[in-house]
Structure 1
Amino acid sequence: MGASLNDVKHRITSTKKTRQITSAMEMVSQAKLNQIQKHTKNYAEYASQVKSVVLHLAQTHILDGLTKSSGHSADNDQSKPKRTAYLVITSDRGMVGSYNSNVIRETNQFINQHSGKSKDYQILAVGGNGSEFYKKRGENVSYEYRGVSDVPTFVEVHQIVKTITSMYDAGNFDELYVCYEHFVNRMVSRFRAEKMLPVDDEAIQGQASQDIEVKPMTAEYDVEPSEKEVLNVVLPQYAQSLVYGAILDAKTSEHASSSTAMKSASDNADDLISSLELQYNRARQAAITTEITEITGGQEALSK
């Protein structure tokens, strides 16, 4: 009985230490979530303006001839099947609940729907979990980036965008979809797969259908110095804003998922501690009762 009591007492102590760790991790994740939400709020104003300009350019048909005038080979040869790239955003670390598994599962479903049985696609992985998953399964991971900051800066993401757009311009793939978890609130996130390249009607309308704030603007433009020069400035900013916004969004979901997972772990630890303490008290009470019974029985034997 003594050994059993010691085992239970040891489990209580160990579980309390685990709860201290998970509680601390929950606080850290919550602080990161608050920080990135403030950062995202400031960035949303810029993103809204860029998206508004592009959406209204589309309404004025300035973008109509963009893909036709593009030098990209896939745009000029409609008989060739499109080679698709999927930018998959996951975390580098674990202990984020079902965050990574949700992204990968939903991405796989989207790939199956979009690419079908064709294997002529590639994975661009931002985050170690996604990279390792697809590498282990022999998928074509043509680009990976690890170590995204807890609150990513535009400069940091600009390097990612620059590399990806260079791959697109070089003809490595014909279209790009960004796959990530969209932050809804601290308890809910939803998977999104958004077309980023080329910037055509499908990509623009896809963005227009999202729950983004679009600033009211007139659909009439005086273009100076030329339409081409305007597009050369606006469209790269648009592409950058999409990827940067997706990474910010994904990181926000990651921190929220981590905070929720650590809170759940702490709550489970509390439940286990309560159960173990009840078990310990009952075992201790039983041991005391047994000891009193033995002493009483011994005294009765001596008195006879």
Structure 2
Amino acid sequence: MAGIKEIRTKIKSVQNTRKITKAMEMVAASKMRKAQDRMRAGRPYTEKVREIAMHMMMTNPDYTHPYLEERKEVKSVGIVLVTTDKGLCGGLNTNITRLVLNRLKEFNAKGISVQATAFGNKGVGFLTRLGVNLVSQQVNLGDKPNLELLIGALKVQLDDYINGKIDALYIATSDFVNTMRQVPTFVRLLPLPDGLPDPFNTEAGSIVADEGSKHEYSWDYIFEPGAKEVIDSLLHRYVEGVVYQAVAENMASEQSARMVAMKAASDNAKKVIGDLQLVYNKTRQAAITKEISEIVGGAAAV
């Protein structure tokens, strides 16, 4: 009967685990809707800032912001890695860190030095294990993207780009497509591409200017205090908006991936309980049959 007791204990343990994963699935489902709403709510702001900045740059072709200048030779780059603070979200963090690892290998093969900024505990741990130069970090981001928490760590990379310490800045995050699909994305943030396309909203009507349409616009802006100051401020806001959107995309991806992962864990736990229950019944039946045979054998001997 010792075997039966062990199986019964294991069944109870798996049942308790299933209760936890089921609760986590429900919590993630609730947070997922809010995270998706926040992600979608942030897109119009970044879209409008991008549109206005692009129009202003077209009306002032003589001024080129440092964010738009292509460096002749790339010797050093910066990477902003966006991950989650917590685990139990399937392969979300694994996919983005694998993509970053491949890019790091490519940079090392070309002799390009790398410095990194990490948003999220998982990214900090990953970059630390690899020995990457971690110049800034921000953890404990919570369930809502907060620009005030991001600006400090991001400013280190932006200042290094302005000062020429790095020649390009990339951002790596998980792009939210739908509840079942989150795509790891590694895009160049600086220098900004022509037309300022949105890397996280390409299907929602991003403003992309081609060579044939650059001179078709005729906006006439009155600048206060001046064109240079306004364009500088707008481009800086745009870069911050892209990073904010990247964190919002990652948070929506996190809750979706966690809900799916916890649902799969609950389903697997249910299957394991069924298999253990079958083994338990067979073992118990065999034990009862053995006891009956011993009783019958003893009675026959008497």
| Same topology, TM > 0.5 | yes
Seen in structure 2, the aligned counterparts of structure 1 residues 55 and 115 have a Cα distance that, compared at 3 Å, is: farther
Q: TM-score under structure 2 normalisation?
A: 0.87
Seen in structure 2, the aligned counterparts of structure 1 residues 210 and 111 have a Cα distance that, compared at 3 Å, is: farther
In the alignment, residue 28 of structure 2 is paired with which amino acid?
A: S
User: Matched residue pairs, number?
Assistant: 294
Query: Take 1:64 and 1:109, find their aligned partners in 2: how far apart are those partners?
Result: 39
Is the 1:179–1:192 Cα contact (8 Å) retained in structure 2? yes
Give the deviation of 1:132 after TM superposition: 1.5
Instruction: Give CA deviations for 1:51-82 in whole Å, capped at 9, x if unaligned.
Output: 22234456x36467415xx4x9x95973x534
Query: Take 1:41 and 1:271, find their aligned partners in 2: how far apart are those partners?
Result: 37
Alignment equivalent of 1:213, drawn from 201, 205, 209? 205
Is 2:47 aligned against 1:54?
no
In the alignment, residue 267 of structure 1 is paired with which amino acid?
A: D
Unaligned runs of at least 5 residues, structure 1:
none
Identity %, equivalent residues: 29
Residue 24 (structure 1) aligns with:
23
Residue 36 (structure 2) aligns with:
37
Residue 223 (structure 1) aligns with:
221
In the alignment, residue 21 of structure 1 is paired with which amino acid?
A: I
Unaligned runs of at least 5 residues, structure 2:
210-215
Seen in structure 2, the aligned counterparts of structure 1 residues 100 and 146 have a Cα distance that, compared at 3 Å, is: same
Residue 11 (structure 2) aligns with:
12
In the alignment, residue 38 of structure 1 is paired with which amino acid?
A: D
Secondary structure of the structure 1 residue equivalent to 2:187 = strand
Residue 263 (structure 2) aligns with:
263
Q: Which moved more, 1:48-57 or 1:88-97?
A: 48-57
Q: Which moved more, 1:156-165 or 1:33-42?
A: 156-165
Residue 193 (structure 1) aligns with:
186
Residue 213 (structure 2) aligns with:
none
Q: Which moved more, 1:220-229 or 1:138-147?
A: 220-229
Q: TM-score under structure 1 normalisation?
A: 0.86
Alignment equivalent of 2:167, drawn from 168, 174, 188? 174
Q: CA RMSD in A?
A: 2.8
Secondary structure of the structure 2 residue equivalent to 1:53 = helix
Secondary structure of the structure 2 residue equivalent to 1:95 = coil
Q: Which moved more, 1:8-17 or 1:288-297?
A: 288-297
Task: Write the mapping of 1:151-170 to structure 2, written as runs, cut at 5 A.
Answer: 151-170=144-163
Seen in structure 2, the aligned counterparts of structure 1 residues 149 and 167 have a Cα distance that, compared at 3 Å, is: farther
Secondary structure of the structure 2 residue equivalent to 1:149 = coil
Residue 252 (structure 1) aligns with:
252
